[in-house]
């Protein structure tokens, strides 16, 4: 039996008021009640690393295990905001599917689908975009940050937050697990839902962010920066398909300071703090507990301990990914089943929206 969203929020330990108040502010507005539905997406830009795993995918599994209405999307439309090799993109979609399944995402307990296979995402994005001003998008910090790095920024990069809102609202999503860097996009989705509702009637819920105490895993080579697939040095990250030897070598090479004592200091000892954060993510212990338990060993020994914990956590996932990727037909069939389940929700919803707008 599915447990209440209150149970979910308690177990995911929300860290700010927006997540805690969702039960009293989201479910009812203008006497319209929306069933709780969790929606989230992940881009197929290669094998996920441990930052993706501890920061998002493990929480996805918790939500799946405690709620019977969850939808997870492989958002391939978002991935082409930067150029993609078609052959590599196709491979990445299958690899991401395999990784999510290997991490415990169960397509029989929710919906796992490929975004581009449901055409109504882009259709709704156009409808919502026609109610969105340029200034609202220009003020999004993600646009400012990413466009500053480009000589000629692409339109897709500018408008993808509208598509992100459409992803959520197409299914009347009520709760969206995100990191703090995505809060502005949830606020945009709420604003666009309100604009639509004010004009055509109360059709959309006000989606709420589910903020959790997910660890922010840092680069092993530059611990002041977030772990990223875009960093050129592969030793900066640990991928879910890394072998035990690769994991051990990368952790042994992780940049830390010269002090051999195990203490947790994010500002002054970011490299060691990152390793302590990894142990916390695996064991659910606090940094103070980890430091107390490891007070008799030196940092070099501690690296080996963390590497061992990572191998124990990730090796079963790696083996399962390899097994799943050996049967591409099975992966394709799971994606197709997910498409059909997503369409069962999306198609009647878009018809209602189009009727409200005046298209039907």
Active site members = 146, 226, 229
How far apart CA 147 and CA 198 sit, in angstroms, is 32
Q: Is there a contact between 325 and 95 (Cβ–Cβ < 8 Å)? A: yes
| Euclidean distance between the first and the last CA atom of the chain, given in angstroms as a whole number | 39
Q: Nearest-CA neighbor of 126 among 76, 168, 82, 166?
A: 166
Q: Tokens 């920061």 map to which residue?
A: 55
Q: Is there a contact between 20 and 9 (Cβ–Cβ < 8 Å)? A: yes
How far apart CA 218 and CA 269 sit, in angstroms, is 12
Report residue 193 as tokens.
């839902």
Burial degree of 24 (CB within 10 A; 0-12, 13-18, 19+):
exposed
Question: Residue 342: helix, strand or coil by DSSP?
Answer: helix
Q: Nearest-CA neighbor of 346 among 127, 163, 123?
A: 123
Q: Is there a contact between 100 and 113 (Cβ–Cβ < 8 Å)? A: no
* Backbone phi, psi, residue 3, to 5°: -95, 165
How far apart CA 286 and CA 319 sit, in angstroms, is 29
């Amino acid at each position: 039996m599915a447990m209440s969203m209150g149970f979910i929020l308690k177990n995911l330990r929300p860290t700010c008021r927006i997540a805690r108040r969702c039960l009293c502010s989201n479910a009812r507005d203008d006497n319209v009640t929306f069933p709780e539905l969790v929606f989230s997406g992940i881009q197929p830009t290669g094998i996920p690393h441990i930052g993706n795993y501890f920061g998002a995918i493990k929480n996805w599994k918790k939500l799946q295990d405690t709620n019977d209405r969850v939808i997870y999307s492989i958002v391939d439309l978002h991935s082409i905001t930067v150029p993609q090799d078609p052959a590599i993109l196709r491979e990445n979609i299958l690899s991401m599917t395999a990784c999510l399944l290997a991490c415990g995402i169960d397509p029989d307990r929710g919906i796992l689908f490929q975004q581009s296979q449901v055409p109504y995402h882009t259709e709704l994005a156009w409808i919502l975009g026609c109610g969105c001003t340029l200034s609202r998008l220009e003020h999004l910090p993600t646009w400012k940050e990413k466009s500053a790095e480009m000589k000629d920024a692409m339109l897709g990069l500018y408008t993808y937050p509208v598509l992100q809102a459409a992803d959520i609202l197409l299914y009347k999503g009520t709760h969206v697990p995100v990191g703090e860097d995505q809060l502005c996009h949830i606020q945009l989705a709420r604003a666009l839902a309100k604009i639509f509702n004010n004009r055509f009637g109360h059709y959309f819920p006000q989606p709420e962010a589910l903020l959790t105490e997910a660890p922010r895993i840092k680069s092993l080579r530059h611990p002041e920066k977030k772990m990223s697939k875009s960093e050129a040095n592969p030793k900066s990250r640990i991928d879910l398909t890394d072998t035990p030897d690769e994991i051990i070598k990368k952790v042994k090479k992780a940049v830390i300071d010269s002090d051999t004592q195990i203490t947790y200091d994010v500002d002054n000892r970011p490299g060691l703090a990152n390793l302590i954060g990894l142990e916390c993510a695996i064991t659910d212990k606090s940094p103070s507990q980890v430091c107390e338990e490891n007070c008799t060993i030196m940092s070099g020994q501690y690296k080996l301990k963390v590497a061992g914990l990572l191998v124990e956590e990730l090796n079963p996932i790696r083996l399962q990914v390899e097994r799943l990727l050996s049967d591409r037909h099975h992966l394709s069939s799971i994606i197709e089943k997910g498409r059909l389940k997503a369409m069962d929700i999306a198609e009647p919803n878009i018809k209602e929206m189009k009727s409200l707008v005046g298209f039907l």
